[in-house]
Amino acid sequence: MTAAGAQRGFSLFEMAIVITIVGLLLALSAEFMGGYTERQQYKAASDKLSAIEQALVRYLSVTGHLPCPDTDLVDGDRDGNEDRATASSCDASVGTVPWIELGITPETATDVRGNLIGYAVMDDLADSGTNWRTRITAHADVAGLGFEVQESGTPIMRPNAATMPTGAAFVLMANSWYDDPTTGADDTLADTLNGAGDKINLHASAISELVRRPTVAEMAQKVDLP
């Protein structure tokens, strides 16, 4: 090989191979980073849901009932206060976390995409005139309380069923990532509630980090009830 041949540099074919390899490496790197970022967002959402759940336990322990959701808008935003129609009923079963009532910051009640975390509770468990401590004096008293929770139409929690967990005391959902797999559309917690307001129908594909649905029995135990 002549000196001139040795110094001629890459051919067009060789350059094409190099560009292809670099492109593949960049694509793989972007896919990895995208997946890593989403996992970090899931982790952040999960941590916030855990903090809210703990705040709800503290609220229940002090007041004897759960708060109503925040459902009204002030200047286009939720104000952080619970909204009640009466002492025994909420304005609506589904809204967002009433962060002022819970003594947490609005940042804790907001997911990493800037959406307030959804919160659902039934009137009988948010009744400010009926203390859980007088209502639940034995484990059997949790029967009939809370939401029936379904996954793609199949019950997995039912208030009156002895063969599965009791009803859900409340449901928390980080709405940002919760997609309806049948339509590809974003769902909010309000979309999962049936017309009667007593069943929450989640999708089996839901990522567990994005939803909290403790049973009435679990919540009662956390505040030292039977």
Residue 95 pLDDT greater than 80, yes or no: yes
* Cα angle value 61/147/160 (rounded, 5°): 100
- How far is residue 136 from each of residues 33, 57, 120, 158, measured CA to CA in Å? 49, 15, 21, 18
Is the separation of the CB atoms in 155 and 149 below 8 Å?
Answer: yes
163 burial level (CB within 10 Å; 0-12, 13-18, 19+): exposed
Mean per-residue pLDDT of the chain: 83
pLDDT: is 6 or 108 the higher one? 108
Structural domain including 160 reads 10-222
Structural domain includes residue 3: no
Residue 1 pLDDT greater than 60, yes or no: no
Structural domain includes residue 2: no
Dump pLDDT digits (tens) for 7-16: 556 688 788 8
Structural domain includes residue 162: yes
Question: What value does the mean pLDDT take over residues 158-175?
Answer: 85
pTM greater than the 0.85 cutoff: no
Is the separation of the CB atoms in 86 and 78 below 8 Å?
Answer: no
pLDDT-derived band of residue 142, with 50, 70 and 90 as boundaries? confident
Structural domain includes residue 14: yes
Structural domain includes residue 5: no
Structural domain includes residue 203: yes
pLDDT recorded at residue 36: 60
Structural domain includes residue 4: no
Dump pLDDT digits (tens) for 194-211: 988 999 988 765 666 688
Question: What value does the mean pLDDT take over residues 124-148?
Answer: 89
Query: Rounded distance, CA 1 to CA 122, Å?
Result: 85
How many domains is the chain partitioned into structurally? 1
Residue 131 pLDDT greater than 70, yes or no: yes
pLDDT recorded at residue 125: 94
Dump pLDDT digits (tens) for 106-118: 999 998 778 899 9
The residue among 78, 160, 156 whose CA lies nearest residue 119 is 78
Residue 24 pLDDT greater than 50, yes or no: yes
Sheet holding 148-151, edge to edge: 154-157, 148-151, 199-202
Q: Give percent of the chain with pLDDT exceeding 90.
A: 39
pLDDT: is 77 or 145 the higher one? 145
Residue 77 pLDDT greater than 80, yes or no: no
Residue 75 pLDDT greater than 90, yes or no: no
Is the separation of the CB atoms in 45 and 206 below 8 Å?
Answer: no
